[in-house]
Amino acid sequence: MNYCFISILFSLWLGLKFFTSKGGLESAEITEILARAHDLEATVSAEAIEQVQPVLQPIGLMDAYSAHLVSLVRKGTKSQQDKPLQGFHIIVDAGNGAGGFFVDKVLIPLGANTAGSQFLDPDGTFPNHIPNPEDHAAMKACSEATLKHKADLGICFDTDVDRAAVVDSAGTEINRDRLIALLASTHTQTD
């Protein structure tokens, strides 16, 4: 199976990430794809291209992905409860990137109170702050919201939700090396 992921890097840049079952494509492979597309374009008439009727089939990847995340958390908590985060107050600061789904499709089904979550609607102009868990303004906004709403935890996502940082109930940022150390110590304790 082959995949292509789109990565939004602020309002002016769009990146594509290509994967096959063997892993991500390298620069030489991308160059070959572009050369083939160029050669194909030169051999096909404009009329033939206009006659192509693309078949688009919407598939619910976000729903499937979210359900998978929910199942991983349920399994990871080793709880028999359907809502293992019941009683926890967790806010999300998506920075107007793609992470807003995490509130309604992951945390709420797990029972978390998400009141105070902010900047959940995607907006490529990022009007509130850059969605980057290494950015001071982003972490400050997440920390302030966590404290203001007396949340147990705040989560700050990057633009395409492949990186995150957390803020504890005291407003302390746990990102970069501290987050890795925390995860490692938690994993070691459960082994």
Give residue-wise pLDDT tens across range 96-148.
Answer: 999 999 999 999 999 999 999 999 999 988 999 999 999 999 999 999 999 99
Residue 2 has pLDDT above 80, yes or no: no
User: Within the chain, what is the greatest distance between any pair of CA atoms?
Assistant: 64
| 8 Å CB contact between 141 and 155 | no
In the chain, what percentage of residues exceed pLDDT 90?
51
In three-state secondary structure terms, 13 is strand
Which has the higher per-residue pLDDT, 181 or 97? 97
What are the structural domains of the chain? Answer: 3-51 (no CATH), 61-190 (3.40.120.10)
Give residue-wise pLDDT tens across range 34-54.
Answer: 898 888 877 888 788 788 888
Residue 78 has pLDDT above 90, yes or no: no
Residue 9 has pLDDT above 80, yes or no: no
Give residue-wise pLDDT tens across range 160-171.
Answer: 898 999 999 999
> What is the torsion angle, in degrees rounded to the nearest 10, for the CA atoms of residue 129, residue 132, residue 133 and residue 134?
-100
**pLDDT for position 38:** 85
**pLDDT for position 12:** 60
pTM: 0.74
pLDDT tier, 150 (very low <50, low <70, confident <90, very high otherwise):
very high
User: How many Å separate Cα 92 from the centre of its chain?
Assistant: 12
| 8 Å CB contact between 97 and 159 | yes
